[in-house]
Structure 1
Amino acid sequence: MSHLDEIQQAILNGRLDAIAELPVPESYRGVTVHADEVDMFEGLESRDKDPRRSLHVDDVPTPELGPGEALVAVMASAINYNTVWTSIFEPIPTFKFLRKYGKLSPLAKRHDLPYHVVGSDLSGVVLRTGAGVHNWKPGDEVVAHCLNVELEGPDGHNDTMLDTEQRIWGFETNFGGLAEIALVKANQLMPKPAHLTWEESASPGLVNSTAYRQLVSRNGADMKQGDVVLIWGASGGLGSYATQYALNGGAIPVCVVSSPEKAEICRKLGAELIIDRTAEGYKFWKNENEQDPKEWQRFGAKIRELTGGEDPDIVFEHPGRETFGASVYAARKGGTIVTCASTSGYMHQYDNRYLWMNLKRIIGSHFANYRESWEANRLIAKGLIHPTLSKTYSLEETGQAALDVHRNAHQGKVGVLALAPEEGLGVRDEELRAKHLDGINAFRGA
Structure 2
Amino acid sequence: MSQLSEAVLNGSSAEEIAAAEVPEDYLALHLRVEDVDMFDGVDDKDVRKSLRVGNVPMPELAPDEVLVAVMASSINYNTVWSAMFEPIPTFRFLKQNARQGGWAERHDQPYHVVGSDCSGVVVRTGVGVRRWKPGDHVVVHPAHVDEQEPATHGDGMLGGEQRAWGFETNFGALAEYGVVRANQLLPKPAHLTWEEAAVNPLCAGTAYRMLVSDRGARMKQGDIVLIWGASGGLGSYAVQFVKNGGGVPVAVVSNERKAAAVRALGAEIVINRSELGITDETGDDPQRVIEVGRRLSKLIVERAGREPDIVFEHTGRATFGISVIVARRGGTVVTCGSSSGYQHTFDNRYLWMKLKKIIGSHGANHQEQQATHQLFENGHIVPAVSAVYPLAEAAEACRLLQTNQQVGKIAVLCMAPGPGLGVTDPELRERIGEDRLNPLRGLTAGPQ
Please state which band the TM-score falls in when normalised by the shorter chain. over 0.9
Distance 2:263 2:160 in 1: 41
* 2:446 matched residue in structure 1: none
Asked if the contact 2:144/2:165 (under 8 Å) is kept, the reply is yes
* 1:200 matched residue in structure 2: 196
Cα distance change, pair 36–197 in 1 and its aligned pair in 2 (3 A) = same
Distance 2:223 2:163 in 1: 32
Confirm or deny that 1:83 pairs with 2:79: yes
2:318 to 319, 322, 327: 322
Q: Post-superposition shift, 1:3?
A: 2.0
Confirm or deny that 1:31 pairs with 2:66: no
Q: Post-superposition shift, 1:266?
A: 1.4
Distance 2:314 2:344 in 1: 11
Question: SS in structure 2 opposite 1:128?
Answer: strand
* 1:422 matched residue in structure 2: 418
Q: Post-superposition shift, 1:284?
A: 8.4
Confirm or deny that 1:336 pairs with 2:336: no
2:302 to 285, 302, 305: 305
Confirm or deny that 1:439 pairs with 2:436: yes
* 1:385 matched residue in structure 2: 381
Question: SS in structure 2 opposite 1:107?
Answer: helix
Equivalent residues in 2 for 1:242-253, closer than 5 Å:
242-253=238-249
Query: How many residues were matched structurally?
Result: 441
* 2:173 matched residue in structure 1: 177
* 2:10 matched residue in structure 1: 10
Asked if the contact 1:284/1:295 (under 8 Å) is kept, the reply is no
Q: Post-superposition shift, 1:290?
A: 4.3
1:225 to 218, 221, 225: 221
1:132 to 128, 134, 139: 128
Distance 1:249 1:223 in 2: 8
Cα distance change, pair 15–221 in 1 and its aligned pair in 2 (3 A) = same
Q: Post-superposition shift, 1:393?
A: 0.8
Question: SS in structure 2 opposite 1:156?
Answer: helix
1:75-98 Cα distance to aligned partner (Å, 9 max, x none): 010000000000010000000000
Distance 2:292 2:398 in 1: 32
* 1:295 matched residue in structure 2: 292
Cα distance change, pair 24–287 in 1 and its aligned pair in 2 (3 A) = closer
Q: Post-superposition shift, 1:288?
A: 4.6
Distance 2:74 2:440 in 1: 15
1:142 to 131, 138, 141: 138
Equivalent residues in 2 for 1:43-82, closer than 5 Å:
43-45=41-43, 48-82=44-78
* 1:111 matched residue in structure 2: 107
Asked if the contact 2:224/2:308 (under 8 Å) is kept, the reply is yes
Distance 2:287 2:203 in 1: 30
> Which stretches in structure 1 are left out of the alignment for 5+ residues?
none
Q: Post-superposition shift, 1:182?
A: 0.4
Asked if the contact 2:39/2:84 (under 8 Å) is kept, the reply is yes
* 2:152 matched residue in structure 1: 156
Q: Post-superposition shift, 1:108?
A: 0.2
Distance 2:367 2:16 in 1: 31
1:391-432 Cα distance to aligned partner (Å, 9 max, x none): 011111111011000001110000111110111110111122
Question: SS in structure 2 opposite 1:30?
Answer: strand
Asked if the contact 1:282/1:299 (under 8 Å) is kept, the reply is no
Structure 1 residue runs of 4 or more that deviate by more than 6 Å after TM superposition: none
Cα distance change, pair 17–200 in 1 and its aligned pair in 2 (3 A) = farther
Confirm or deny that 1:400 pairs with 2:379: no
1:191-245 Cα distance to aligned partner (Å, 9 max, x none): 0011111111001110010000011000000100010101111111000000000
Asked if the contact 1:3/1:22 (under 8 Å) is kept, the reply is yes
Distance 2:228 2:300 in 1: 12
Question: SS in structure 2 opposite 1:316?
Answer: strand
Distance 2:279 2:333 in 1: 20
Asked if the contact 2:68/2:120 (under 8 Å) is kept, the reply is yes
1:242-281 Cα distance to aligned partner (Å, 9 max, x none): 0000000001111111111111111111211111112443
Distance 2:228 2:53 in 1: 34
Amino acid corresponding to residue 298 of structure 1 in structure 2: R
Asked if the contact 1:259/1:279 (under 8 Å) is kept, the reply is no
Cα distance change, pair 23–271 in 1 and its aligned pair in 2 (3 A) = same
Distance 1:16 1:243 in 2: 39
Cα distance change, pair 433–320 in 1 and its aligned pair in 2 (3 A) = same
> Which stretches in structure 2 are left out of the alignment for 5+ residues?
444-448
Distance 1:146 1:284 in 2: 29
Amino acid corresponding to residue 263 of structure 1 in structure 2: A
Distance 1:225 1:444 in 2: 29
* 1:22 matched residue in structure 2: 20
Question: SS in structure 2 opposite 1:404?
Answer: helix
Asked if the contact 2:224/2:247 (under 8 Å) is kept, the reply is yes
Distance 2:15 2:74 in 1: 27
Asked if the contact 2:283/2:320 (under 8 Å) is kept, the reply is no
Moved more, 262-271 or 80-89: 262-271
Amino acid corresponding to residue 29 of structure 1 in structure 2: L
Moved more, 433-442 or 325-334: 433-442
Cα distance change, pair 262–65 in 1 and its aligned pair in 2 (3 A) = same
* 2:237 matched residue in structure 1: 241
Q: Post-superposition shift, 1:314?
A: 0.4
Asked if the contact 2:199/2:409 (under 8 Å) is kept, the reply is yes
Q: Identity over aligned residues, as a percent?
A: 55
Q: Post-superposition shift, 1:8?
A: 3.7
Distance 2:313 2:283 in 1: 22
Asked if the contact 1:269/1:439 (under 8 Å) is kept, the reply is no
Distance 2:385 2:121 in 1: 21
Amino acid corresponding to residue 36 of structure 2 in structure 1: V
